[in-house]
Amino acid sequence: MENLYKVFGRRATEAVRRLESGTDRAELELPGVTAAVVDASFTVERGEIFVVMGLSGSGKSTLLRTLNGLLPVTSGRVLVDDTDLTGMTPAQVRELRQQRMSMVFQHFALFPHRTVEENVAYGLSVQGTARERQRTRTAEALELVGLTGWEDRLPGELSGGMRQRVGLARALAADTEILLMDEAFSALDPLIRKEMQDQLLNLQRQLGKTIVFITHDLNEAMRLGDRIAMMRDGRIVQVATATEMLTAPADEYVARFVRDVDRTRVLTASAVMEPAGISFTPATTLAEAQETMRRHELTGVLVADGGTFAGAVTRGAVSAADGAGSVADVLDRSAARVTADTPVADLFGVSAAAPAPLAVVDGAGALLGMVTQQSLLRSLSITEDAEEEVDAHA
Ligand SMILES: Nc1ncnc2c1ncn2[C@@H]1O[C@H](COP(=O)(O)OP(=O)(O)OP(=O)(O)O)[C@@H](O)[C@H]1O
Ligand SMILES: [Mg+2]
């Protein structure tokens, strides 16, 4: 999407001109004109879940409808790969949409008098797909969302979560690379909603679709989004990963928005780890180890052998050996280690039980860094500076 404007009302072009010169949409002073999307630019990468997040009225649904060509744009461009959707005829847009994009809606949009199977097959039958092929595609899609066996039921016989899985199956049956989901889980109970989020993440690991997911729920955005676009009053104020948004909010608005997020679920070991500044090798003499630990007041130190994490030593074990031998003799080879993508929430327990810092390792066991109790506690208040700034402004 490139510098996209979507303005409703008769004096749309004039509105765009004013918005381009920096006028806020609230100060347009053009009666009957609503600037729903203002100068939106972003790129969605193939295979990512791109979340658009913002309060009610911020322009999310309008943005999505320009993205799939359901709404003509006032100004700007929408490119799918290199195809400019904004220059196409309605028939061309419809064809592109059918071939490449599927929608999942908040209120399921199922036909009440058609069975689950008929609902899922609907798009395929409209496209004129052969019966047999409809059958297999529908069966595959229902299996993906765990609804095999429910083919002959009517939507009214299903729970909300199941209905939304029918909606999802319908989108999957079309077998398009792009999925557009507008508040798809917002009507569901919290527990069911979490289940659906898990299921979507699972499906995404299998299918690798390109997903644009709209939500006004920040926790959902942070759980699902590879990247998140934050919208405010029609404008996109930041596009960033969840971690970036927490640690480097673009402005006060974003800082306030992310303030109440459970950051221990979003941040991972990689965001809180520090370089293992002091580490030993198995060959380090115990005399040297003891002296180093005393001087730096360390209770535990990580040990690496040629870059590979080998374990940890504690001050107690080193002292007890009384200077003779090397670190290898007192090495705890089973010392705690975590991978870089472990959520901070899962580190507290491990860290509290460990006498040394936690080792952060990669898949091959190389020591990437360490996490200490202090760095964990700091992670809880990682945007404190940003917040203080906000408070100073307020
Ligand atoms: N067809 C339309 N005609 C006129 N104004 C519209 C139209 N569609 C949307 N708007 C206005 O555009 C603005 C953005 O609406 P939009 O539905 O995109 O927001 P949203 O972020 O999806 O909100 P919600 O979270 O409530 O779904 C709102 O002020 C809305 O009233
Ligand atoms: Mg909406």
81 sits in the region (left: phi over 0; alpha: psi -120 to 50; else beta) called left
Point out the ligand 1 atom lying closest to the alpha carbon of residue 234.
14
Top mutation candidate among 37, 55, 60, 74 for ligand 1, by most atoms within 8 Å of CB:
60
Residue 294 neighbours by CB under 8 Å, 6+ apart: 315
Single out the residue of 54, 56, 385, 347 nearest to residue 218, CA to CA: 54
**How many residues are recorded in the chain?**
394
The domain made up of 270-379 has a fold known as CBS-domain (3.10.580)
User: Which residues contact ligand 1 via a Cβ below 6 A?
Assistant: 8, 34, 36, 54, 56-62, 216
Of all protein residues, whose CA lies closest to atom 18 belonging to ligand 1? 59
The domain made up of 42-261 has a fold known as Rossmann fold (3.40.50)
Single out the residue of 116, 113, 105 nearest to residue 141, CA to CA: 116
Top mutation candidate among 6, 7, 8 for ligand 1, by most atoms within 8 Å of CB:
8
Do residues 173 and 98 make contact, with C-beta atoms less than 8 angstroms apart?
no
Q: Write out the residues surrounding ion ligand 2, Cβ under 5 A.
A: 61
Of all protein residues, whose CA lies closest to atom 3 belonging to ligand 1? 8
Domain boundaries, the chain: 42-261, 270-379
Per-residue pLDDT of the chain (394 residues; tens, 9 = 90+): 999 999 999 888 989 999 998 888 888 888 889 999 999 999 999 999 999 999 999 999 999 999 999 999 999 999 999 899 998 999 999 999 888 999 888 776 889 999 999 999 998 888 888 999 999 999 999 998 889 999 999 999 998 889 989 999 998 998 899 999 999 888 887 778 888 898 899 989 999 999 999 999 888 999 899 999 999 999 999 999 998 998 899 999 999 988 878 888 888 888 889 998 889 999 999 999 999 999 999 999 999 999 999 999 999 999 988 778 999 999 999 999 999 889 898 998 888 888 889 999 998 999 999 999 888 888 776 544 444 444 444 4
Cβ-based neighbour number of residue 276 at 10 Å: 19
Element spanning 267, H or E: none
Do residues 15 and 35 make contact, with C-beta atoms less than 8 angstroms apart?
yes
The strands making up 75-77's β-sheet, listed across from edge to edge, are 34-40, 2-8, 75-77
